[in-house]
Structure 1
Amino acid sequence: MAPQGDLLEELLVQHDAVRVHFSALGGVPLGDPERRRLVDLVSAELMGHLAVEERLLHPVVRRHLADGRTLAGLNLAAHRTVEGLLADLRYADVASALFDRLVARLVEETTRHFGEEEAQLFPAVRAAVPAATLHRLGEKTGAALAHAAVHPKPQPPAVKPPDRLPPPERGLAARLRAFLTPS
């Protein structure tokens, strides 16, 4: 994407691109393999967007806003939620109900996150940060996007996988002790 303006304008363009992909995803029937391709497009777009925010926006927020550390922390928490959903979607079967629930949650979380940024964070940044700084950062978005990961890092499973080995055999002494000990 060629730089079109300052950092906030670039981020708004990215928000619109993700919303377009979400709209396309909503028009495809549940279970259709085309949904996988669209989710992969959304994943690449979102991962690039999150990288730009973390590399360019968050340092400015921390530096220029009074409660910047808190705002950046909340923004990072929202990013981790979105990345977790993208990681789960990557391994979900497109024909499963889980895939559809994850897509719905991704759309909900991302839309909420974008709405909060556009209503609260971006106006505060625009008021506190010099226009020249925002424009200079806007020119760096292309480089940040080029270095962004396309897929989220694999998350460790929440539940340990089952052990496929049989339980260990008890030794002769343990079996004899269990046999001779009254219950």
Structure 2
Amino acid sequence: MGHGGNVIDELVTDHREVEEMFGRIEALPPGHEDRKVYADKVTMELVRHSVAEEAYLYPAVREHVTGGDALADRELQDHATAEQIMKDLEGCDAGDAEFDRLVARLMSEIRAHIADEEGNLFPALRAVCPPHALDELGEKVRKAKKTAPTRPHPAAPDKPPANKLLNPGAGMVDRLRDALSGRGKSD
């Protein structure tokens, strides 16, 4: 989280980190308790990443990219689907019958989302935004990830201005809950 560079470089690095965590989950046998530890970590990263995209990336796509509204709406729908899966996963332990099904579905959804962003959305944005604008978006995304929630909130708003107003408060509460529970701390 928080790598530097323009918005596309920042988000692609996040994508690689998520894929690495998915690999760690896949390398462990079903029921292994560390699968839940990594599922929590990947959820934390995905929520922060999604909140930052919703606050800054998708509005920029809507503003600058031809057909940007449709692109952004499709990405928001992907986020909503993934967020509901993560919410369902939050209540499961690694040994629960539903855990493996939900993790597999989350991985499939996120991998398709990443392929779409990297194959369509990012090239379209790079083609129309000057480098300094992409750099400014990268900085905004990094700042948003620092205060973003770490737990899924499927009912929360996903478009400005409401998301920009509510997410820092939800993020503070989530980080407090994480600190008290130890969620995301072992490795």
| TM-score after normalising by structure 1 | 0.81
Question: Given that residues 8 and 134 in structure 2 are in contact (C-alpha distance below 8 angstroms), is that contact kept between their aligned partners in structure 1?
Answer: yes
With over 3 angstroms needed to count, the CA separation of the structure-2 counterparts of 1:140 and 1:3, relative to structure 1, is farther
Q: 1:2 to 1:49 in 2, by over 3 A?
A: closer
Which residue number in structure 2 is paired with residue 178 of structure 1? none
Distance 1:123 1:154, change over 3 A: closer
- Post-superposition Cα deviations, 1:42-75, rounded to whole Å, max 9, x if no partner, equal 0001001101110110011000011111111110
Task: Note the C-alpha offset of 1:154.
Answer: 6.2
Write the distance in 1 (CA, Å) between the matches of 2:80 and 2:37.
22
Deviation at 1:11, TM superposition (A): 0.3
SS of 1:140 mapped into structure 2: helix
Residue number in structure 1 paired with 2:170? none
The change in CA–CA distance for 1:63 and 1:99 in structure 2 (over 3 A counts) is: same
Identity %, equivalent residues: 39
Gap regions ≥5 residues in structure 2: 156-187
Deviation (angstroms), 1:96: 2.0
In structure 2, relative to structure 1, the CA distance for the partners of 1:99 and 1:141 (3 Å cut) is same
Considering fraction of residues, name the structure with more helix. 2
Shift of 1:148: 1.0
Distance 1:99 1:134 in 2: 38
CA shift for structure 1 position 153: 1.7
Pairing 1:101–2:77 present: no
Q: CA deviation at 1:77?
A: 0.2
Distance between the aligned counterparts of 2:25 and 2:47, measured in 1? 17
Are 1:25 and 2:25 matched, yes or no?
yes
Aligned-partner Cα distance in 2 for 1:145–1:74: 21
What residue in structure 2 maps to residue 9 of structure 1?
9
| Aligned counterpart, 1:176 | none
- Aligned residue in 2 for 1:146: 146
Look up the SS of the partner of 2:5 in the other structure: coil
Give the aligned length. 155
Residues of 1 paired with 2:122 and 2:26: CA distance? 27
One-letter amino acid of the structure 1 residue matched with residue 21 of structure 2 = H
Number of the residue aligned with 1:52: 52
Change (3 A) 1:104 1:142: same
Q: RMSD over aligned Cα, in angstroms?
A: 1.2
- The answer for the alignment partner of 1:65 in structure 2 is 65
State the match for 1:81 in structure 2.
81
Distance 1:140 1:120 in 2: 22
Moved over 3 A (4+): none
Amino acid corresponding to residue 96 of structure 1 in structure 2: D
The Cα shift of 1:28 comes to 1.0
Q: Deviations over 1:7-33 (max 9, x none)?
A: 010000100010010000111110111
Instruction: Indicate the residue corresponding to 1:40 in structure 2.
Output: 40
**Length-normalised TM-score, structure 2:** 0.80
Structure of higher CA gyration radius: 1
CA distance in 1, matches of 2:136, 2:143: 12
Measure the CA separation in 1 of the matches of 2:124 and 2:72. 13
